[in-house]
Amino acid sequence: TGGGTRRLTEWFGHEVGLTFVLHERTAVLDAVRKAGLTEIAWYQRGPMPSRNETTERLYVVAAPAGGPS
């Protein structure tokens, strides 16, 4: 989570060309709701240095409004 972008040219030992766009948690959760989904749960965790991660991660579980909870 956060703002800005992150560019990778190497990932898990392979040459890549990836740009990740980082978003704030509230913006992601707002987008989930605006898409007509009901937020069931979300989890935010810090970076895992053992995996060379430098950013926080946000995981969201959502379902269609009126769907399973």
pLDDT of residue 52: 79
pLDDT of residue 45: 94
Task: Convert the pLDDT of each residue in 8-67 to its tens digit.
Answer: 999 889 999 999 999 999 999 999 999 999 988 999 999 998 987 888 999 999 999 876
Strands (E), 3-67: 5-11, 14-21, 37-45, 57-64
Query: Which of 44, 45, 42, 46 shows the shortest CA–CA distance to 61?
Result: 42
pTM: predicted TM-score of the whole model, two decimal places: 0.72
pLDDT surpasses 90 at 2: no
Dihedral sign for Cα atoms in the order 30, 35, 38, 44: negative
pLDDT of residue 46: 92
pLDDT of residue 51: 83
